[in-house]
Amino acid sequence: MRRDRLTFLMMTGLPAIQLVLFGYAIQTDVRHLRTVVLDESRSAESRALIATIGNSGNFDIIGDVASREALRDAVESGDANAALVIPPDYEREIKGGRTAAVQMIVDAADPQTSAAALSGALLAAQARATQIISERYRLLAPLDMRVRPWYNPAQRSAVFIVPGVIGILLTITLTLITGIAIVRERERGTLEQLIVTPISKTSLMLGKLVPFVVVGYVQMTVVLGLGKLIFDIPIRGSVLLLYVLTVPFIIASLGVGLLVSTFARSQGQAMQMTFFFMLPNILLSGYVFPRMSMPAPAQWIGLMLPLTYYLKVLRGILVKGVGFAELWRPTLSLAVFAVVLLAFSVRRFSKTIE
């Protein structure tokens, strides 16, 4: 391994790069939208509203614009993602006890970005409205909804994504690298050379697969460590339990890798096949995109991927801190995958080497 630099790089570099890329880049929570303000009221009331919205965390007030045209320019050029328009009669309407209308324009080309902005704007306006009412009538708000975001109170996506990186990485290592390694042995003739030796098929396969199990566990440990260090992800449950429940996932993934190696005739083919397998894993397993929002067929495909269940185990143990009692169902599914995939691929592998 010391000499096969490329493989070594793929095995150690991948965890780090994936972790940083996905940990930092995939921020499904949109914060700090750049916001310009067209304040035609220029009053104490309008400044109070701007302050409320600016303090919500969803909007960063980056400046004032003088006109509707300037506002449009700012949004169209992408300098601003949102624009707040306060009409000239804003203060007058509020003072007069009538309903004042304000406008929030959001660049909603990306629905994910805009969703947070839209709800953020509504919440800020409601907060301000409640404040005005309670000041005016010296009343206390009749209802106070206290939302408690469990498990991830700060709602950071890293908490959600980083455990998933472990699942994705294990999938890559155990299917892609395993598949390629075996196909390479076939290409070079070393596999054939080994088959004519007295070594048993079982030892041959174990010899090929076990090192990757070790690599998988090392990667997992690296990501857990770096995730804790860089992203401060929680490790609430038992790491030991996680390592144990990873076994069926590893076996299932190795089964896929072995299966790929029996179909692929060259390393390039193995790469393509694995890529074909990786795509649904990344998109449909719930790694980044919530499965609940997917159309039914996409959800069904997701149910056929071991990673979908493994992500439940990962997030359950790391983020929620639950134990086996809560995780026996995904574990059972993983075990079924493991048995079926391994049995099938070993059978096929034995056949190809007769």
Partner 1 sequence: MNDCGSPPAAPLAVETVGLRKAFGALVAVDHLDLTIPRGEVFGLLGPNGSGKTTTIRMLCGLLLPTAGRASVVGHDVATEAEFIRTKIGYMSQRYGLYDDLTVYENLRFYATVYGLHGTARAARLDAHLAALGLDELRTQMAGTLSGGWKQRLALACATAHEPEMLFLDEPTAGVDPAARRAFWTSIYELARRGTTILVTTHYMDEAERCQRLAFLSRGHLIGLGTVQEILTQFAQPTIEDVFIELQRRDEGAAV
Considering the complex, state which of residue 3 and residue 146 has its C-beta at the smaller distance from partner 1.
Answer: 3
Considering the complex, state which of residue 126 and residue 190 has its C-beta at the smaller distance from partner 1.
Answer: 190
Pairing of strands 59-64, 82-86: unpaired
Stretch that binds partner 1, among 80-88, 139-147, 192-200, 217-225 (CB under 8 A): 192-200
Considering the complex, state which of residue 215 and residue 314 has its C-beta at the smaller distance from partner 1.
Answer: 215
For residue 76, the minimal CB distance to partner 1 (Å) is 56
Considering the complex, state which of residue 194 and residue 278 has its C-beta at the smaller distance from partner 1.
Answer: 194
Report 230-259 residues binding partner 1 (CB under 8 A). none
Q: Is 190 in the site for partner 1 (CB under 8 A)?
A: yes
Stretch that binds partner 1, among 47-55, 73-81, 134-142, 183-191 (CB under 8 A): 183-191
8 A C-beta contact, residue 152 and residue 202: no
For residue 16, the minimal CB distance to partner 1 (Å) is 24
Considering the complex, state which of residue 231 and residue 349 has its C-beta at the smaller distance from partner 1.
Answer: 349
| 193 to 222: interface string for partner 1, x by CB under 8 A | xxxxxxxx----------------------
Considering the complex, state which of residue 121 and residue 346 has its C-beta at the smaller distance from partner 1.
Answer: 346
Helices (H) and strands (E) in the chain, counts: 14, 4
Query: How would you list the strands of the sheet with 82-86, edge to edge?
Result: 59-64, 33-39, 82-86, 103-106
How many residues bind to partner 1 according to rule CB under 8 A? 16
CB contact burial 167-193 (16+ within 10 A = b; e otherwise) = bbbbbbbbbbbbbbbbbbbbeeeebee
Report 4-33 residues binding partner 1 (CB under 8 A). 4
Considering the complex, state which of residue 60 and residue 187 has its C-beta at the smaller distance from partner 1.
Answer: 187
For residue 205, the minimal CB distance to partner 1 (Å) is 14
Residue type, 307: L
198 DSSP 8-state letter: S
For residue 198, the minimal CB distance to partner 1 (Å) is 4
What does the alpha-carbon distance between residue 283 and residue 37 come to, in Å, rounded to a whole number? 38
What does the alpha-carbon distance between residue 57 and residue 167 come to, in Å, rounded to a whole number? 32
Considering the complex, state which of residue 3 and residue 138 has its C-beta at the smaller distance from partner 1.
Answer: 3
Stretch that binds partner 1, among 77-85, 190-198, 217-225, 265-273 (CB under 8 A): 190-198
Stretch that binds partner 1, among 77-85, 110-118, 184-192, 274-282 (CB under 8 A): 184-192
Residue 163: partners with Cβ closer than 8 Å, 6 or more residues away: 227, 233, 311, 314, 315, 318, 319
What does the alpha-carbon distance between residue 22 and residue 233 come to, in Å, rounded to a whole number? 13
CB-CB neighbours of 273 under 10 Å? 20
Residue 351: partners with Cβ closer than 8 Å, 6 or more residues away: 262
Instruction: Give backbone dihedrals phi and psi of 61, rounded to 5 degrees, phi first.
Output: -75, 110
For residue 59, the minimal CB distance to partner 1 (Å) is 56
Provide the residue count of the chain: 354
Q: Is 192 in the site for partner 1 (CB under 8 A)?
A: yes
Q: Is 265 in the site for partner 1 (CB under 8 A)?
A: no
What does the alpha-carbon distance between residue 327 and residue 310 come to, in Å, rounded to a whole number? 10
8 A C-beta contact, residue 269 and residue 232: no
Query: Residues interacting with partner 1, by CB under 8 A?
Result: 3-4, 188-190, 192-200, 353-354
